[in-house]
Amino acid sequence: ITIAVIHGPNLNLLGTREPGVYGSVTLEQINNALEQLAESLGVRVVCQQSNHEGVLVDWLHQAGANSAGVIINAGAYTHTSVAIRDAIAAIQIPVVEVHLSNIHKREEFRHHSYLAPVVIGQICGFGPTSYLLGLRGIIQHLQPPN
Ligand code: DQA
C-alpha cells in the first residue's frame, strides 16, 4: 500500500528555519527516515511539499484516488484553511495530522486546527518523530492486528 506524505508551506526550509522551534533536521532527512520506516513496515511512502494551498488540495484529491492514507503537515494552513479541511473531509481515506512543534503550547493562534475534526488523529510536539509516529498510527489504523 502507498501512504501519501504531504508537507505544506515553509517546510522546505526545515534545517535552517527557526531551528529553536523546528530543530536542524532537513525535510530530506525526514523523508528519508519515513522511507526507511515504510520499507521496514512493508509499505510505500510518497513524499511531496508545496507552499501553495490549492496544490495541497489537488494532492489530497489525488491521494484519495491513488493512496491508502495520508500524513499531512499543513503548516500554517492548519490554522487558516477551510479548503484543506474540506478536501480531507471529501476524500474516503484516513488522514493523520502531524506537526513538529506542540502547537498547543505556542501562540494562541496556533491552538486551533481546522483539520483536527476531520482527521483520525493529531500528533504534535515530537519533532521529526511526529511523522514516524503518524506513519505507524495510520498503518495500525489500516491494518489493525487481530
Ligand atoms: C507546524 C506548526 C504550524 O503552526 C506552523 O505554521 C508550521 C509548522 C509544525 O510542524 O510544528 O509551519 O505545522
Q: pLDDT tens digit string along 114-136?
A: 999 999 999 999 999 999 999 99
For ligand 1, is residue 89 a contact (CB within 6 Å)? no
Percent of the chain with pLDDT over 70: 99
Domain count, the chain: 1
| Predicted TM-score (pTM) of this structure | 0.97
Grid cell in block for residue 131: 511523522
Rounded to 5°, angle at Cα 74 from 61 and 109 = 135
User: Exposed e or buried b for every residue in 89-111, given b needs 16+ CB within 10 A?
Assistant: eebebbbbbbbbbebeeeeeebe
Centroid of ligand 1 to alpha carbon of 145 (angstroms): 32
Do 90 and 59 meet the contact criterion of CB atoms below 8 Å apart? no
ipTM for the assembly: 0.99
Whichever domain contains 40, its CATH number is: 3.40.50.9100
Other Cβ atoms less than 10 A from the Cβ of 39: the count is 11
Provide the residue range defining the domain that includes 37.
2-142
Grid cell in block for residue 53: 494551498
